[in-house]
Structure 1
Amino acid sequence: MGSSSPTFSLPPQRAVFAGLLFDMDGTIIDSTSAVEKHWHTIGEELGEDPNVILQTSHGRRSIDVLKLLRPEKATWEYVKHMEGQLPLKYGSDAVEIPGARSLLDSIRGANVPWAIVTSGTMPLVSGWLDVLKLPHPEHLVVAEDVENGKPDPTCYIMGREKLGLQSDAEVLVLEDSPAGIKAGKAAGCKVVGVVTSHTVEQIVDARPDWIIKDLDSLKMVGNSNRGVELEFLNALNVK
């Protein structure tokens, strides 16, 4: 990355996409505080160090974390119940990522194809969207839909298919984690990385197509039969 610090200073760039695939936590909402409290509770219940859990849990499915720590607890019944409690108990600790609501309102108003593709379960996703009064997408890909979580690209391939888009369609994945960025790229999508949960260096190393601070730097500027036109503002300059 050179000797100088990277800056979010690139001039505006525009691109057209046939559809958008959003990660959830760290991309649409920030539930870091809630998740930390949640895993501390679960860690204590399981007799595991919650700090060790938190070092590897972000962007990964809970069932994959449990497979390593407590295989006997790695069932969808347990995970969905556990995650369903998170928004109910800690809903006041979550906030939307800056710009998320505005962007979602814009694309919904223009009937842009979009979906949420997340490592969370259905109870977790629907719970957070309800608590924060954010729109529910017509299409969802959740943890229990795929055999392997991110960075496996299956979830994003499935998301593109749910939008009815072919593999050659220009689709944008919006992600905050290196595993998710790698999954989107491996699925053949363009990817924008948001620096909300990981360091700039970690996001750069994952090699997304654009890097922005948050969704305030992404605006819808047009919509036509070619697709939705987005403008990337103040993207990261790593040179």
Structure 2
Amino acid sequence: MGSTAPSFSAPPQKATFKGLLFDMDGTIIDSTDAVVKHWHLIGKEIGVDPNVILETSHGRRSIDTLKALGQNHLANWEYIKHMESLLPKNYGEDAVEIPGARDLLDIVKSANIPWAIVTSGTTPLVSGWLDVLKLPIPENLVVAEDVESGKPDPSCYLMGLGKLGFAVKDARDVLVLEDSPAGIAAGKAAGCKVLGLVTSHTVEQVARAKPDWIVKDLSSIKVVSHSSLGVELEILDALNVD
């Protein structure tokens, strides 16, 4: 890609999948402004520079972030879940949906296409954001407290496969939709196809994680058809790597 502007002009591509696994923040919603305010507040409370926290927190579980900062006494689920439950309550007006997310989720849910949210956030955080933004609620959810290791470990996406009723051998028939390099790496390590969104990281950062497709946001994803065999998607305006 060099110094030239990236070209999102690849010809439309179609692909069929048996299920979809969505990351949350940066993929379905953009809560960047809320998270910045949140970590500035927490940073002041625990005596850690908020900018240091923000350098490494995106796409990671809060419990892993606090451990990395040496705040082991706070790295427990009781504190984390309480802390994250306040985020949508205090900063609900600062979050917006990623372009195309609502339309895609509405179609996926109404068509009974197997899908789940697989996120580094806790249950109170995810349910809070879905409620604030009035977005479709999945029947299947994998959250931070469900797995021993967070992204880029593939455990969360392997669990997501299982919740949709798929075995590991079916992973290539399932699409992971992600924005962070850690999440993309987790989806790839689980054996899934991965769509990378350039919503929270640079094109170069997303590309280095080697997703199968790179798009600006979910407005590039269209449902063409769906049946018992799967959902056919059309991927528009992907990054042209030529």
Where on the TM-score scale, by shorter chain, does this alignment land: which range?
over 0.9
Q: From 192, 196, 204, give the equivalent of 1:193.
A: 196
Q: What is the rounded CA distance, in whole Å, between the counterparts of 2:184 and 2:106 in structure 1?
A: 24
Name the TM-score, length of structure 1 as normaliser.
0.98
**Is 1:72–2:68 an aligned residue pair?**
no
Which residue of structure 1 lines up, in the alignment, with residue 224 of structure 2?
221
Q: Secondary structure at the match of 2:169?
A: coil
Q: Deviations over 1:37-78 (max 9, x none)?
A: 000000000010000000000000000011122111101000
Structure 1 residue ranges, 4+ long, deviating more than 6 angstroms after superposition: none
Which residue of structure 2 lines up, in the alignment, with residue 144 of structure 1?
145
Structure 1 gaps, min length 5: none
Structure 2 gaps, min length 5: none
Which residue of structure 2 lines up, in the alignment, with residue 9 of structure 1?
9
Alignment size in residue pairs: 239
Letter in 2 for 1:131: V
Q: What is the rounded CA distance, in whole Å, between the counterparts of 2:146 and 2:132 in structure 1?
A: 23
Q: Secondary structure at the match of 2:116?
A: strand
Q: What is the rounded CA distance, in whole Å, between the counterparts of 2:177 and 2:101 in structure 1?
A: 11
Q: From 226, 230, 234, give the equivalent of 1:231.
A: 234
For 1:72-91, list aligned pairs within 5 A: 72-91=73-92
Letter in 2 for 1:73: L
Which residue of structure 1 lines up, in the alignment, with residue 28 of structure 2?
28
Q: What is the rounded CA distance, in whole Å, between the counterparts of 1:162 and 1:98 in structure 2?
A: 27
In percent, how many aligned pairs have the same letter?
73
Q: Deviations over 1:129-180 (max 9, x none)?
A: 0000001100000000000000000000000100001223200000000000
Q: What is the rounded CA distance, in whole Å, between the counterparts of 2:136 and 2:227 in structure 1?
A: 22
Name the TM-score, length of structure 2 as normaliser.
0.97
Which residue of structure 1 lines up, in the alignment, with residue 37 of structure 2?
37
For 1:61-210, list aligned pairs within 5 A: 61-69=61-69, 70-169=71-170, 170-210=173-213
Moved more, 2-11 or 126-135: 2-11
Query: What is the aligned-residue RMSD (CA, Å)?
Result: 0.8
Letter in 1 for 2:160: G
Q: Secondary structure at the match of 1:130?
A: helix
Q: Shift of residue 2 of structure 1?
A: 4.7
Letter in 2 for 1:7: S
